[in-house]
Amino acid sequence: MLHKKTLISIVGPTAIGKTALAIQLAQHFGTEIISADSRQFFKEMAIGTAKPDAEELAAAKHHFIDSHSVSQLFSTGDFEVEGLKTLNGIFQNHDVAIMVGGSGLYVNALINGLDEMPDIDLSIREKLNKQFEEEGLAAIQTQLAALDPEYFAKVDQQNPQRMIRGLEVFLSTGQKLSSMLSATKKERPFNIIKIGLNTDRAVLYDRINRRVDKMVADGLLEEVRSLTPFKQFNALNTVGYSEIFDYFDGKLSLDEAIAAIKQNTRRFAKRQLTWFRRDEEINWFEPQQGPEIIGFVENRINNK
């Protein structure tokens, strides 16, 4: 089935240059950008999430940057609903729209849709939250790895909410969450062209290290300090923030905290690549191949 409208989805690991490419494509096609980065939604978090700066935001219209507060829960299901509504608005005036971001679950929600999730026994959730508080994340990870190894392998293992989610589904229903995730893709009324950015691992890791140094120079410590009242919210239990909180709590020296951010970001980039490489529809390019990517996209649009 041919559709006139096209969504260009740009994915890849953190620090690879997705924002720059999205702006280049948005300017070329005269259109707008939807951010699918689960941390850039939050207006209180800027430096540690490497949000587009004022100049970049002025270069193309962005949606879902600073759209929510860390005190609000904004789930993948919410993003699917609001993202489709936003996309619909963009398609009123443009034939092409761009989505950019490294959060695989959010990208997947907009492109493939989410399956209906089963009802959860809330007493099980309560019990798991208590266990997490008393025994730490490792106890939850161990159980989930045993009960649903497929889900465990593909989600962020440092995210307690995701770990508990996988366990509570299994313990409530006896079914694995991995077997429920997007078993059937929803049909979308627009074409989708998937672009992935990647480069040599040593180059990527160098980009990550330099980006972290820049965040620190730009005032990451002050930003994290200002977020101390929100520390308990899940949005802040994330790379670049939790390590600095550990420094403030005296658990790490500043040098150790910065080294930990770099290491955890590199691990995160590795997990992102593992996630995206499973999608055979993604067309991979190097970050500097902007002109080739534009040519590729135009060719695909014109030959649809």
In tens, the pLDDT along 41-94 reads 999 999 999 999 999 999 999 999 999 998 887 888 889 999 999 999 999 999
Cα separation, 30 vs 177, whole angstroms? 40
Q: Which of 166, 39, 41, 186 is nearest to 110 (CA)?
A: 186
Query: What contacts 149, CB < 8 A, 6 or more positions away?
Result: none
Q: How confident is the model at residue 181 (pLDDT cuts 50, 70, 90)?
A: low
Distances in whole angstroms, Cα of residue 207 to Cα of each of 127, 179, 199, 286: 41, 36, 11, 14
Instruction: Judge residue 38's burial from the number of C-beta atoms within 10 Å of its C-beta, 0-12 exposed, 13-18 middle, 19 or more buried.
Output: buried
* pLDDT > 60? residue 182: no
Tell me what pLDDT residue 235 has: 81
Considering 15-29, 71-85, 108-122, 165-179, the range whose residues carry the highest mean pLDDT is 15-29
Whole-prediction pTM:
0.81
On whether the CB atoms of residues 159 and 76 are closer than 8 A, the answer is no
Cα separation, 204 vs 86, whole angstroms? 32
Q: How confident is the model at residue 14 (pLDDT cuts 50, 70, 90)?
A: very high
On whether the CB atoms of residues 244 and 221 are closer than 8 A, the answer is yes
Q: pLDDT tens across 230-264, in order?
A: 888 878 888 999 999 999 999 999 999 999 999 99
Tell me what pLDDT residue 63 has: 97
Q: How confident is the model at residue 175 (pLDDT cuts 50, 70, 90)?
A: confident
Cα separation, 143 vs 165, whole angstroms? 12
Residue 19 C-beta-side C-alpha neighbours within 13 Å: 19
Tell me what pLDDT residue 1 has: 46
Query: What contacts 92, CB < 8 A, 6 or more positions away?
Result: none
| φ and ψ of 7, to 5 deg | -105, 125
All domains of the chain in start order, with CATH = 6-115+183-302 (3.40.50.300), 122-179 (1.10.20.140)
Report CA Rg, the chain: 20
Q: pLDDT tens across 126-151, in order?
A: 888 888 888 888 899 999 999 998 88
